[in-house]
Chain A
Amino acid sequence: GENVGLHLPTLSVQEGDNSIINCAYSNSASDYFIWYKQESGKGPQFIIDIRSNMDKRQGQRVTVLLNKTVKHLSLQIAATQPGDSAVYFCAEDTGNQFYFGTGTSLTVIP
C-alpha cells in the first residue's frame, strides 16, 4: 500500500479537552470516507462515516468534517476520555479502491 513503512504521527491531549485528528486524502474520486479506532492488539473499530454529498456528520461525542476542495477530512472528539487513547485511521473509498491512511496515535493524559 501507499503507506507502507510510515510511522504514526502522535497527538497528546488532556483529559476533558477536545481532540482534532486530521487526514489528507489523495483520490478525488473517493466519495465515501470512514474513521476507525484501533486499540492495541485489536482490529479497527468503525467510528463514523461520511459521504461526499455531506460536509459534516455528528455522532456521539464525535464529528467528522469533510472538505472536498482541499481533500481533507477531520475527526473531532469532544471531551476526550482516557478510553479514547488509540490509533485513529481515516479511510477513503472510490467504489473500486479502498485506501487506509497512515493513522494518528492519540494519547489522553489524565
Chain B
Amino acid sequence: GAVVSQHPSRVICKSGTSVKIECRSLDFQATTMFWYRQFPKQSLMLMATSNEGSKATYEQGVEKDKFLINHASLTLSTLTVTSAHPEDSSFYICSARVRQRETQYFGPGTRLLVL
C-alpha cells in the first residue's frame, strides 16, 4: 500500500524556537497533502490543504504565518511551526492523496512538545 513518512517522529523544543516537520509520500506522487493536528482522545483537526506548487489553503482559525506550509514537490510537504509556544504542543499528522475522491494515506505523526 501507499506509504507516507514523517520526520521527526518526536521533537522537544524551547518556547520561541521554530520547528520543521517533513512529510513524504514514498511510493506515489501526491498532488495534495494535508496537515492535521490532534489532541488526546479527540478527532483529527484539519489545519491546511496544500497542492504541489501552490499556496496552502488554511482552515478557519489556523494562522498561516504561524504554521508555514511548503509543498515543493509531489512527494514532499513541510510544516514549520514558527515561534512555538507550549500551547502548540500536540500531535501533528500529515496525509497525502493522489487525486480527489481517492484515499488519503496518513503519516505516522509527529509529537511536538514545546517547553
Give the B-binding residues of A (Cβ under 8 A): 1, 3-8, 31-32, 34, 36, 41-46, 49, 51, 89, 91, 93, 95-96, 98, 100-103, 105
Could you tell me the distance between the alpha carbons of A3 and B43 in the complex, rounded to whole angstroms? Answer: 7
Inter-subunit contact B45/A44 (CB<8 Å): no
A89-B103 contact given A41-B111, A42-B108, CB 8 Å threshold: no
B105 part of interface (Cβ distance < 8 Å) = yes
Tally the A-B contacts, defined by beta carbons under 8 Å: 68
19 additional contacts (CB under 8 A) given A41-B109, A93-B101: A1-B46, A6-B42, A6-B43, A31-B101, A36-B106, A42-B109, A43-B6, A43-B93, A43-B109, A44-B44, A45-B106, A46-B1, A46-B103, A49-B103, A98-B34, A98-B104, A100-B44, A102-B43, A105-B41
Q: For window 40-71 of chain B, which residues contact chain A by CB distance below 8 Å? A: 41-46, 59
Interface size, B (range)? 20 to 34
Give the A-binding residues of B (Cβ under 8 A): 1, 4, 6, 34, 41-46, 59, 91, 93, 95, 100-109, 111
Could you tell me the distance between the alpha carbons of A32 and B33 in the complex, rounded to whole angstroms? Answer: 18
Give the chain B neighbours of A98 by CB distance below 8 A: 34, 46, 104
Interface of A is mostly: loop
- Most chain B CB within 10 A, of A3, A41, A51, A98, is at A98
Inter-subunit contact A100/B46 (CB<8 Å): yes
Could you tell me the distance between the alpha carbons of A36 and B42 in the complex, rounded to whole angstroms? Answer: 14
Inter-subunit contact A5/B100 (CB<8 Å): no
Inter-subunit contact A103/B43 (CB<8 Å): yes
Inter-subunit contact A8/B1 (CB<8 Å): no
Select B41's contact among A7, A36, A100, beta carbons within 8 Å: A7
20 A-B interface contacts by CB (under 8 A): A1-B45, A3-B45, A4-B45, A6-B42, A6-B43, A7-B42, A32-B101, A43-B6, A43-B95, A43-B108, A44-B93, A45-B106, A46-B106, A49-B103, A89-B43, A93-B101, A98-B46, A98-B104, A100-B43, A105-B41
A46-B101 contact given A98-B46, A100-B44, CB 8 Å threshold: no
**How far, in Å, is B33 (CB) from chain A's closest CB?**
12
